[in-house]
Amino acid sequence: MGSTYDYVIVGAGSAGAVVAARLTEDPDVRVCLLEAGGPPPPAELVPAAVASLQNDPVTDWMFNGDPGGVGKGLVGGRMMVPRGKMLGGSSGLNYMAYVRGHPGDFDSWAAGGAEGWSYDEVLPYFLKAEGFVDSPELHPDRDRHGYDGPVGVSVRQPVLRASNQFVEAAGAAGLKQGDYNGRDRLDPDGVASLFQTTTKDGRRSSTFHAYLEPAMDRPNLTVITGALVERVLLEADGEAVRATGVAYRTENGTREEVTAGTEVVLCAGAIGSPHLLLLSGVGARDELEAVGVVCVVDLPDVGRHLKDHLHTPLMFAADGIGETMTEVALSLGPDALRAPAGPLPADPAEDADLPEALAAAKAEAERRIGEWFTTGRGLASSSLYDAVAFFSTGLGDEHTHDAQIGFLATGYSPPIWESVFRLPPAAFFEDPETFLDPTRGQVVVLPNPVQPHSEGSVTLASADPAVPPRIDLNYFDDPHDVSVMVAVMRKALEIAKAWPGGGLGDPVIPPHLAQAHGHEAGSEPSDALLEDLARHYALTVYHETSTCRIGDVVDPRLRVHGIQALRVADASVMPNVVSGNTNAAAIMIGEKAAEMIASDHGVRLHEMVG
C-alpha cells in the first residue's frame, strides 16, 4: 500500500543524501528516500579497504560497459563501471579524492547556457559542504575553503614519503606545489599536491556519514533500503505530464508505490538516472518502442553525451618507496590476514595455537588497526591514491587544465589486478608473482586526460528494470583523446625520471606490446607503443557524467523538460565533465539542488547561501 510524502528522492548517494538531509531540516517537510542498497559495511569507513568494496554485489552495482576504442587487453574485453549501491552511494565506494574541478569548467557551463552554474555561483555550495582541516603540507588557499561543512576534507596522516616524493618530482617537471582547490588551479603552468580527501579523523566521510547518518532519526525522513525503483509514475493531464511518485520493488519481490505531493527528485547517478527515465518512457521514442516501452515524453538526449575519465597505469618497481601489500594488510587488522588470501586461519577460534611468527603478525595487525581506530592515523587512513598533478597539454580546451596525473603508493596484488581492475597479470607482467610479491614495493603513476571529447551513451537493453542498461563508453572515438592521452603519459614519464634519488627507472611494458613494437628495456617508448598500451590497458576512473545534462534533458534549475514536478540532481546533469575527480562536484550539485527546491516551494533550510 502506497504512502504520500512531499518529496520522493531516488538514490541515497553523493547528491541524494545531501538533498534528503537538507530538505528535512524543515520539520514540516516529509521526505521519502529510496535506495537499492543498504547501510554501508564496516569496511567502508576504512579508507585503505576501498578495493574490497568494488566488485562486491552488496555494495557495487557491478555494471559493465563496452569500452569502444580501448579495453583490448582487459579480461573479457569489458570495462568495469563501479557504482555505489549503498547509503552514500559512490561516495562510499570511491578513492575519496576531493577535487572541485577548474574554475573554467563551471564558467564554460554558464557560457553554454547553464545559467547560475558559473564558478562564482557554485563556489558557495562547495564551501557549504566542506569541513576542511588545515594542514601545512597542503599550502591551502584559506579563502577558498569551507571549515564548518559536514564533509570532512583532509590530508592523510602521517603523510607517506612516496607521496611527498611525487609532489617533489612533479615540481622538478615544472608543476609547482599548491592548492588545486584554490587559486593555484588557475596557474597556467599547472599545480601538484598531496590529495585532499573526503576523510575525517582518518575515516571516510561519505555523504551517508556526513549528511544522512545525523538525520536518520528525524521523524519527517523515511529511508527505504533494498528498494529497486522501477519507474517514475507519470500522469498526463491534457498536454501536461506530471510526476506523481515512483514504483519500486522490495527485497522480497513485492511491488510498492510512493506518492510525491510536490516533487520527485532523481539522484540515481549518471547511469541510474537516465536508466530510470528511459524505463519511465522518457527518451528517444524509436529506441523506447524498440524494447517495448511506451514513450510518454520524446526526449532524445536522455542517456546521451556520456563523459568519463580514463587513465593508463604506468607501473614502477619501487622497493623502499612504495608501500608493500604486506604492510597494507597488516594495517587493516587481523581480518585482512585471514584465509583464503592470508596466512591466518579463516576461523579466529583456531588462533590459539598459532606459530610464533603468525602470532606476532596478528598482534601487530591488532596494534595498527587499534591505532587507526583511536587516532585516525596510519596506513589505514588513506586509499593510497595520495597525490596528484594538474596541467594543460596545450592541445586544446584552453578554458581549463586538460590533464591530471594521479599517484598510487602501492601496487596491489594479482587477485586485485585480475578481479577488480580486470587487467590480467600474466599478460601485463613478465613474472607477475615476482613483480607483485607482497613484500616488495611498487608505485603506479596514472596519466588521465580530463576533458575527453568522445561521448558514450546509456540505453535500454530491456524493458525489465532488473536488467542493467547498455553502457557504451566509446572511449577514443574522437582522435583528439588519443593525442592527449599520449601527451599526458609523456608528462608522467617525465615525472618518474625526475623522482628524487635518480628516477624510478623504467615503467612496466607488457611483454607482448614490447615485442610488437620492438621496444627494448631502457629505451624510450614510442608514441605508438604508448597509444597501444592505453588501448589495451587503460581503465575507467568511474567519473561518468552528463547523461541528463543541463540544456538537453533538464533546465538550469534541474527540472526535466516536458514534465512537471520532476528533477534530476546528480552528476548526470553536468553539461560537461569537470577537469578532475567528480565526487566533490556531485555533492555541490546536491547542495545547490536542495536550495533550488527550497526556494521554489518555501522550504525552510537552516542556511541559504545562493
Q: Which residue has the cell 590530508?
A: 155
Active site residue 517: no
d(CA 374, CA 202): 10
d(CA 263, CA 267): 13
CA distances from 187 to 104, 180, 487, 489 (A): 12, 9, 19, 21
Catalytic-role residue among 305, 309, 311, 543: 543
b/e map 41-55, b = 16+ CB within 10 Å: bebbbbbbbbbbbbb
d(CA 518, CA 532): 13
d(CA 578, CA 65): 21
Nearest Cα residue to 385 out of 232, 160, 597, 571: 160
Residue type, 305: H
d(CA 235, CA 138): 52
Residue 204's SS3 state is: strand
Which cell goes with 464? 525489465
173 close to 494: Cβ distance less than 8 angstroms: yes
d(CA 435, CA 425): 10
Which cell goes with 209? 556519514
d(CA 75, CA 507): 21
d(CA 313, CA 446): 5
Which cell goes with 2? 502506497
d(CA 387, CA 370): 26
Q: Which residue has the cell 561516495?
A: 91
Q: What is the DSSP string of 175-191?
A: --B--TTTGGGG-TT-E
435 close to 442: Cβ distance less than 8 angstroms: yes
Which cell goes with 601? 516551494
The stretches of 566-609 forming alpha helices (DSSP H) are 583-601
d(CA 448, CA 538): 9
Reported as half-sphere exposure (CB side, CA atoms, 13 A), residue 254 has a value of 5
Look at the alpha carbons of 406, 510, 418, 342 in this order and tell me if their dihedral is positive or negative.
negative
405 close to 448: Cβ distance less than 8 angstroms: yes
Which cell goes with 145? 575553503
* Number of neighbouring beta carbons within 10 Å of residue 72: 13
Farthest CA pair distance, the chain: 79
Whether omega before 158 lies within 30 degrees of 0, making that bond cis, reads: yes
d(CA 30, CA 221): 6
Q: Are strands 130-132 and 240-249 parallel, antiparallel or unpaired?
A: unpaired
Catalytic residues: 543
